[in-house]
Amino acid sequence: MPQITYREALNQALREELERDERIFIMGEEVGYFGGAFKVTDGLLAVYGEKRVRDTPISELTIVGAGIGAAMGGLRPIVELMTINFGLLAMDQIVNNAAKIRYMFGGKAKVPVVIRAPQGAGHQLGAQHSQSLEAYFLHCPGLRVAIPATPADAKGLLKTAVRQEDPVIFLEHESLYGVKGEVPDGEHLVPFGKANVLREGKDVTLISYSKCVYDSLAAAEGLENMGIDAEVIDLRTLNPLDLDTVVESVGKTGKAIVVYEGWRTGGAGAEIAAQIYEKAFDHLDAPVERVATLDMPIPYNARLEKAALPSPAHIISAAERIV
């Protein structure tokens, strides 16, 4: 399989889906002539034209609302937000309309819209542009939440997202766009709700998603040098959440560490840890550890920013405490 970047994998998925279904179109700020803030939609305007690759005004509430209306009218929009931080301006549309319309209309109206957005810290963009907000959307019933780590999953999960009948929040970490990996050509679908065991181990289970998958893999290598065999699970999606794979792994290792870039308090990792306690308590030989971003606005200073975020060193320290 060819090696391509995470960015190229997303672009490939968009091209294939635009070609497959004429109801699909893309809309967002600078997605057309500029090719997207992170160049994910680069080159699509030239092929599919302004009708299907639409530059919009700078108004997230309007962009998402228009996408919801188009989806209810029979189209399948892919809405790009320049960053999930700006998605906070569209929370009324996301939470009160996208997530609830299918339920409130008794299934007679559907909202097959994908809302794509980069998120995450590590680039000195300051407290208002460096957040990981997946927990906000995980907390809201009616929204699917996909959060791929690898280029192959970026392509496969995006293609699956476009074909959902429910609204999907599709979160891409800014640090991953240049990451390369093997990606199948042509039709490649990754199912929602199916985690991926990237590394098998017997001493401790590391559970993560998005960029923290790479931190977990790096930590697993460091732990191996210390005689600790770590299993690494990439959740891929948070709603639906594949807890069966997690419980099976914890049943083998007896110990679990949840690694996530959201804030520690009330983060997605807290929910995952709670479900591990509920469904795998008898398997645990130690408390579930959480490695997450400190409960503070993300600092601009590079060293302080790095210190606030989860890292392989933090994961290794957590493993040493419980193994």
Residue 11 Cα distances to 7, 27, 146, 289, angstroms: 6, 14, 17, 36
**CA distance linking residue 29 with residue 32, whole number of Å:** 8
CA distances from 120 to 20, 90, 226, 262 (A): 31, 18, 30, 8
- Evaluated on CA atoms 307, 313, 317, 319, the torsion sign reads positive
Q: Determine which one of 129, 173, 188, 314 is catalytic.
A: 129
List of residues 6+ apart from 284 with CB closer than 8 A: 250, 254, 255, 256, 276, 277
Whole-angstrom distance, CA of residue 45 vs CA of residue 13: 15
Measured CA to CA, the distance from residue 90 to residue 12 in angstroms comes to 27
Phi-psi domain of 211 (left: phi exceeds 0; alpha: psi -120 through 50; beta: other) = alpha
Question: Quick check: is 139 catalytic?
Answer: no
What residues contact residue 3 under an 8 Å CB cut-off, 6+ apart? Answer: 180, 181, 182, 183
Give residue for tokens 């609830």. Answer: 100
Q: Which of 8, 17, 60, 261 is catalytic?
A: 60
Please confirm, yes or no, whether 16 is among the known catalytic residues: no
* Cβ atoms of residues 144 and 170 within 8 Å: no
Residue 240 contacts by C-beta under 8 Å, 6 or more apart in sequence? 144, 192, 193
Strands (E), the chain: 3-5, 24-28, 53-55, 76-80, 114-119, 144-146, 168-173, 180-182, 196-199, 204-208, 230-234, 237-239, 256-263, 289-293
Residues tagged active-site: 60, 129
